[in-house]
């Protein structure tokens, strides 16, 4: 099967390409990238006039819930959801049940993803056995089975001793330790950010200090070990400053921010909508604006969704007993384009770096995936088409999103991986 992508604006930060080109894909591989390619050689043509064509988007932080919570998501539904949102590669975090702390489960997850045949899944193994924070998991065996990082996500790495060992051990394999930075003794029973708004609403708050303490501990340890620390879902301005200084000193610290931390602040909680309940919590406006600055100045390497599906009854309940987290694959591109590109003038190329080429480097994908001879791995999106987000169109099994009904400027159009071509549909045209 030959697929021709016609007249798309190709933006590929890896090769420096930034111009209108045609791309011919033959049997799932990139065959030609050039101007005025012949349409008669193609079985199918995508008219990408006015659209951006980029190396496939990569999500460095996602929960696919299988094994253990298949009512929320399966690997298959997660992979379909990812591609419907414009992602061709996603990670799978290890807080499954049983926990992904051994080679057998890593192999199972990869096998199921392969069989589903949609997005590529890169598993992230647990740091500690059962994520219990006591002893290291079998990291070497999991690396041989294909993990791209380790994390005890959902919880921080429990102790400095364990973090030191993990950083040291992972250095041998060239993979990062991904940290969920939350000092748990400061967040017990809390549901939102601690500040004026939590006091006003009478809800228990998580202070940014809970994040800052773990980020600080880990940066100090990483400097000592010379490992690779990746801070997941950064949300505090003070932590951002610590990451910036570590980078200035030449230390190997990378980080990510979620679309919802770029888009919302804690005033959203005035609605008491549980779709604004997540960890870390959405913070005050100053933190949100700091994250946008972090994207602009390069301190933040990538944007990751923290896709966290939950069944209806775990979200449709009282705020102090609801599950933390929201789904993210199918709203990320629209939220980021609307907020960063249109409202804060972030160039499209920088967005492609943050959602494609930078996360690809962090999880160890091959360089320059959009080149002749490579397996097709492409995301096509519009920067200007306005849509109203409609969760009924989502392929995820869950619907826990705060973006429902929002009119956003920019949207995913197609995700292509090998011979799989998905036309993205995440909302309705605004009438
Ligand atoms: Zn987390």
| H helix runs in 353-390, sequence order | 358-362
Rounded distance, CA 13 to CA 117, Å? Answer: 27
Burial of 300 from C-beta contacts in 10 A (0-12 / 13-18 / 19+): buried
Distance 422 CA to ligand 1 centre (A): 29
Residues found in the chain? 431
Rounded CA-CA distance 139/122 in Å is 15
Residues marked as catalytic = 306
Query: Residue 303 C-alpha to ligand 1 middle, in angstroms?
Result: 14
Rg (Cα) of the chain, in Å, rounded?
A: 21
Report CA(29)–ligand 1 centroid distance (Å): 35
**Structural domains present in the chain:** 2-53+373-429 (2.30.40.10), 56-362 (3.20.20.140)
Cβ neighbors of 387 (< 8 A, separation 6 or more) are: 334, 407, 408, 411, 426, 427, 428, 429, 430
CA 334/CA 408 separation, integer angstroms? 6
Per-position pLDDT tens, the chain of length 431: 899 999 999 999 999 999 999 999 999 999 999 999 999 989 999 999 999 999 999 999 999 999 999 999 999 999 999 999 999 999 999 999 999 999 999 999 999 999 999 999 999 999 999 999 999 999 999 999 999 999 999 999 999 999 999 999 999 999 999 999 999 999 999 999 999 999 999 999 999 999 999 999 999 999 999 999 999 999 999 999 999 999 999 999 999 999 999 999 999 999 999 999 999 999 999 999 999 999 999 999 999 999 999 999 999 888 888 999 999 999 999 999 999 999 999 999 999 999 999 999 999 998 899 999 999 999 999 999 999 999 999 999 999 999 999 999 999 999 999 999 999 999 998 76
């Amino acid at each position: 099967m030959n697929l021709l992508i016609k007249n798309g604006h190709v933006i590929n930060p890896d090769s420096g390409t930034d111009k209108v080109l045609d791309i011919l894909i033959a049997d799932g591989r990139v065959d030609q990238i050039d101007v005025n390619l012949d349409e008669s050689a193609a079985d199918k043509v995508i008219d990408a006039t006015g659209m951006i064509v980029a190396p496939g988007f990569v999500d460095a932080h996602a929960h696919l819930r299988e094994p253990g919570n298949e009512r929320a998501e399966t690997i298959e539904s997660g992979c379909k959801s990812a591609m419907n949102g414009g992602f061709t590669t996603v990670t799978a975090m290890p807080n499954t049940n049983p926990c992904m702390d051994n080679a057998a489960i890593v192999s199972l997850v990869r096998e199921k993803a392969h069989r589903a045949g949609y997005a590529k899944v890169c598993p992230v193994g647990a740091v500690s056995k059962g994520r219990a924070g006591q002893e290291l998991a079998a990291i070497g065996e999991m690396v041989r089975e294909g993990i791209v990082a380790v994390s005890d996500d959902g919880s921080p790495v429990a102790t400095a001793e364990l973090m030191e060992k993990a950083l040291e051990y992972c250095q041998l394999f060239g993979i990062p330790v991904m940290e969920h930075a939350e000092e748990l003794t400061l967040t017990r029973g809390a549901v939102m950010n601690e500040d004026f708004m939590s006091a006003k609403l009478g809800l228990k708050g998580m202070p940014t200090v809970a994040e800052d303490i773990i980020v600080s501990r880990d940066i100090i340890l990483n400097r000592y070990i010379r490992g690779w620390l990746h801070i997941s879902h950064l949300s505090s301005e003070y932590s951002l400053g610590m990451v910036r200084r570590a980078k200035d000193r030449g230390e190997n610290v990378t980080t990510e921010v979620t679309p919802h931390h770029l888009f919302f602040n804690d005033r959203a909680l005035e609605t008491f909508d549980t779709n604004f309940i997540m960890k870390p919590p959405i913070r005050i406006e100053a933190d949100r604006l700091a994250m946008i600055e972090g994207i602009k100045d390069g301190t933040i390497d990538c944007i990751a969704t923290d896709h966290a599906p939950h069944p209806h009854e775990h979200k449709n309940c009282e705020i102090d007993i609801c599950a933390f987290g929201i789904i993210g694959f199918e709203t990320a591109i629209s939220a980021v384009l609307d907020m960063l590109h249109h409202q804060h003038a972030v160039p499209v190329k920088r967005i492609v770096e943050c959602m494609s080429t930078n996360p690809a480097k962090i999880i160890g994908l091959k360089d320059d995936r959009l080149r002749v001879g490579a397996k097709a791995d492409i995301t096509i999106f519009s920067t200007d088409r306005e849509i109203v987000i409609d969760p009924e169109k989502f392929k995820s099994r869950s619907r826990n999103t705060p973006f429902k009904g929002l009119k956003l400027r920019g949207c995913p159009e197609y995700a292509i991986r090998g011979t799989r071509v998905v036309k993205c549909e995440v909302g309705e045209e605004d009438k």
